[in-house]
Amino acid sequence: MARYQAGDFVAARALINRISPALHRFLNAQCTSVADADDLLQEVWLRIHRVRQTYRRGKPLLPWIFAIARRVRIDHYRKSLRSTMREQRWDELSATATDSLTQPQPADTLDELLAPLSESQREVLEMLKVAGMSLEEVARATSSSVGSVKQKVHRAYRKLRQSMSLVELRKGQTGVVP
């Protein structure tokens, strides 16, 4: 990052190649299509490029990058929410939500695993598990305290435990009933 700030193009490319997969996965969770996530990734890097002077050498890099990515994602979410509200009626939304709650599916990919979680719980787990950040780094990236992050993780695990147990139960039932 220090070399990127010094204007080294090779270092900038290396950083983009190294961080982009985790960032893309982080952004993908809220996008309706891969093309949307691609656009968002590009926007994140443009934003990072514009504010690269705000990174201080010697400080952890991932919280800085994810704090920016999180803000781009929030802006995008608000924008898409506004357009979705215009297009979709409330009753359709609630019907979709009820379907997804009553018909749990076996989860294999990270997106499916984290589907039952709220947005804030999901982003905390993504940062911890996908980006490999520590609790303190997640707290920095989300502008909150370590205690608040721990609480979100605790609640997320409780919800995941319920959801995964339900899936196991359904699996067992379908195995018994001919």
Partner 1 sequence: MRDAEIDEALDRAAREPHQVPGELLKRIGESIGPSLEPVRPLPPTWVLTGALLLIGVAVALAFAARAGIHGFEALNVPARVAIFGALAVLTCLAAELLVAEWTPGSPRLSTPAGLLAMASVVLFGVFALLFHDYRVDHFVSAGIACLLTGLACAAPAALLGLWVLRRGWAVNPVTAGLVAGVLSGLAGVTLLELHCTNFQALHVIVWHTLVVPVSAGVGAILGWFVQRGRALSSRAIR
Contact residues: partner 1, CB under 8 A: 5-7, 9, 12-13, 16-17, 20-22, 24-25, 38-39, 41-43, 45-46, 49-57, 59-60, 62-68, 70-72, 75, 78-79, 107-110, 113, 125, 129-130, 136, 139-141, 143-145, 157, 160-161, 164-165, 168
Q: Which is nearer to partner 1, 84 or 161 (CB)?
A: 161
User: CA-to-CA distance for 34 and 74, rounded, in angstroms?
Assistant: 17
Q: Show the DSSP H helices in the chain as ranges.
A: 2-5, 9-28, 34-50, 61-87, 90-102, 110-114, 119-129, 135-141, 146-176
Token digits of residue 9: 């193009």
Smallest separation, CB 88 to partner 1 (Å): 20
Nearer to partner 1 by Cβ, of 56 and 93: the residue is 56
The SS3 assignment for 59 reads: coil
**Shortest approach of partner 1 to residue 102 CB, angstroms?**
19
